[in-house]
Amino acid sequence: MQNDDVVVIGAGPGGYVAAIRCAQLGMKTACVDAWVSPGGKPALGGTCLNVGCIPSKALLDSSHHFEHINHHAADHGIAVTGATMDVGKMVARKNKIVATLTQGIAGLFRKNGIDWLQGRARLLGEMRVEIEPTAKQPAQKTVVAARHIIIATGSVPATIPPARVDQTHIVDSTGALDFQQVPGRLGVIGAGVIGLELGSVWRRLGSEVVIFEALPDFLPGADHQIAREALKVFGKQGLDIRLNAKVKTASVAGDAVTVEVGVDSANERETFDRLIVAVGRRPNTAGIGAQEAGIELDERGFVVVDADCRTRVDGVYAVGDAVRGPMLAHKASEEGIAVAELIAGQKPHVALDRIPWVIYTWPEIAWIGATEQALKAAGREYRAGSFPFMASGRARAMGETDGFVKVLGDARTDAILGVHAFGPNTSELIAEAVLAMEFDGSTEDIARTVHAHPTLAEALHEAALGVDGRTLHI
């Protein structure tokens, strides 16, 4: 029986990063993964690289170029007529990016001496893991033993009874990355991160997109002022976002999907060419042998862990989407690194309240820390400063003037409590706020930091100045 210092189960951004860090720290490391690409080959990278972050951003970038050429190039004096989109080529480009990156991880595994075990793992207890091969050869199950086990089995799309996913007419996020032509009418259930990102992709390419959201509020987890502004801008772009709209049935007849939706107290029927179900994700922990191994799962299937990702069983840890906290790739990776370092005797820490969020619509939504409504609800005294991109020289030069940045600081200590941004490239801009918060910075620290001119980051600078009423350009 193979014996390792560490066996990692799952090679998404939680698991593969944990495996690399364990190997860097001198541990004999194996990583088991069950992912098989549509071509039938095992692939590393998990949801993020195969059907998540990377492919969705590839399509967002392609569709952004298309929209820019069709609708904004003329503003710059560039005349383009008859631009067309070859969807097959766009999807093939996306697939190539995915293949390059997943093969890159296989290269990193080789470089770091990590043993890639291809198959589905099940915990047997007593620090043993059974592996059922995903490839046809070898056919037998094998068992490996380890001194430490890291569960990083990730998550899968959540489903709802009214809309059964067939991956042809009714698809989940994976199917929505592979449409071979632009749907004429596209329905989306869920105005969350996936609904907005993938809805944006297909709208830019010409779909008429309707998004049904069960809740009365749009993006309730984001700062309300940002969410309100974003809803307005997305509406102008043509995303038809219907709140308080709960899908009751979805049925396929011929090549069409008919959806019955309860909007407020009335029922509406709509017909689409395709329907995306994007109602959240659930932890992928069924069948991993948690019970046999004495690992506790909560009522929703998340592995129960402490602040350092330890499970109830000594030597067994869990990270990423399979445990509490935001279901984000960078959160999964940071936990993977921290667990590896914990095993090596170090004292790492992941601050779950300092994880940035980005929604890759255009403009992008990005934030870190507390929202204004949460501070109000907690009775916390704070000061706010904000700055619109309309008044930014760089944003004007780019022709990207929608949105604003808001900085929230503690009224007494001036500590940064939250930064919220809606605007061009805010996915990059937010990194400065994350760093400032990581260093326990104050809004005055950002205000005193020299920002290159002209940059979009000056909007963050101005918003920080605004906390103390010193904004210069409005």
List residues binding ligand NAD (CB under 6 A).
Answer: 160, 189-195, 197, 212-215, 246-247, 278-281, 326-328, 358-360
The listed partner (ligand FAD, ligand NAD, none) that binds 46, CB under 5 to 8 Å by sort, is ligand FAD
Distance separating alpha carbons of residues 14 and 335, to the nearest angstrom: 7
The listed partner (ligand FAD, ligand NAD, none) that binds 395, CB under 5 to 8 Å by sort, is none
Q: Which is nearer to ligand NAD, 101 or 411 (CB)?
A: 101
Give 3-state DSSP helix, strand, coil % of the chain, rounded to 5.
35, 30, 40
Chain residue whose CB lies nearest ligand NAD: 192
Both tokens of 47, joined, read: 């949801």
Element holding 17 (H helix, E strand): helix 15-24
Active site residue 148: no
Q: Which is nearer to ligand FAD, 22 or 322 (CB)?
A: 322
Instruction: Judge if the upstream peptide bond of residue 138 is cis by omega within 30 degrees of 0.
Output: yes
Q: How far is the CB of 282 from ligand FAD (least distance, A)?
A: 11
Q: How far is the CB of 52 from ligand NAD (least distance, A)?
A: 7
Q: How far is the CB of 73 from ligand FAD (least distance, A)?
A: 27
φ, ψ of residue 402 to 5 degrees: the values are -75, 145
Q: Which is nearer to ligand NAD, 147 or 248 (CB)?
A: 248
The listed partner (ligand FAD, ligand NAD, none) that binds 195, CB under 5 to 8 Å by sort, is ligand NAD
Q: Which is nearer to ligand NAD, 360 or 382 (CB)?
A: 360
The listed partner (ligand NAD, ligand FAD, none) that binds 315, CB under 5 to 8 Å by sort, is none
Q: How far is the CB of 277 from ligand NAD (least distance, A)?
A: 8
Q: Residue for token digits 């709209």?
A: 245
Q: How far is the CB of 409 from ligand FAD (least distance, A)?
A: 26
The listed partner (ligand FAD, ligand NAD, none) that binds 48, CB under 5 to 8 Å by sort, is ligand FAD
Closest CA to 197 of 384, 4, 324, 60: 60
Closest CA to 13 of 336, 354, 301: 336
Q: Which is nearer to ligand FAD, 34 or 170 (CB)?
A: 34
Q: Which is nearer to ligand FAD, 178 or 444 (CB)?
A: 178
* N residues, the chain: 474
Binding-site ranges for ligand FAD (CB under 6 A): 9-15, 32-35, 46-48, 52-53, 56, 120-121, 152-155, 173, 194, 284, 288, 320-322, 327-330, 332, 360
Q: 439: which residues sit within 8 A by CB, 6+ positions away?
A: 445
DSSP string for residues in 403-445: -EEEEEEETTT-BEEEEEEEETTHHHHHHHHHHHHHTT-BHHH
Q: Which is nearer to ligand FAD, 47 or 386 (CB)?
A: 47
**Which one of 71, 76, 349, 453 is the catalytic residue?**
453
The listed partner (ligand NAD, ligand FAD, none) that binds 12, CB under 5 to 8 Å by sort, is ligand FAD
Distance separating alpha carbons of residues 180 and 187, to the nearest angstrom: 16
Distance separating alpha carbons of residues 433 and 418, to the nearest angstrom: 8
Helices 87-112 and 15-24: angle between axes, nearest 10 degrees: 30
Q: How far is the CB of 449 from ligand NAD (least distance, A)?
A: 26
Which spans in 285-425 are helix H?
290-293, 329-343, 372-377, 393-398
The listed partner (ligand FAD, ligand NAD, none) that binds 371, CB under 5 to 8 Å by sort, is none
Element holding 62 (H helix, E strand): helix 53-67
**Strands 274-277, 185-189: parallel, antiparallel or unpaired by DSSP?**
parallel
Distance separating alpha carbons of residues 372 and 344, to the nearest angstrom: 40
Which residues on adjacent β-strands are paired with residue 252?
Answer: 257
Residues with catalytic roles: 453
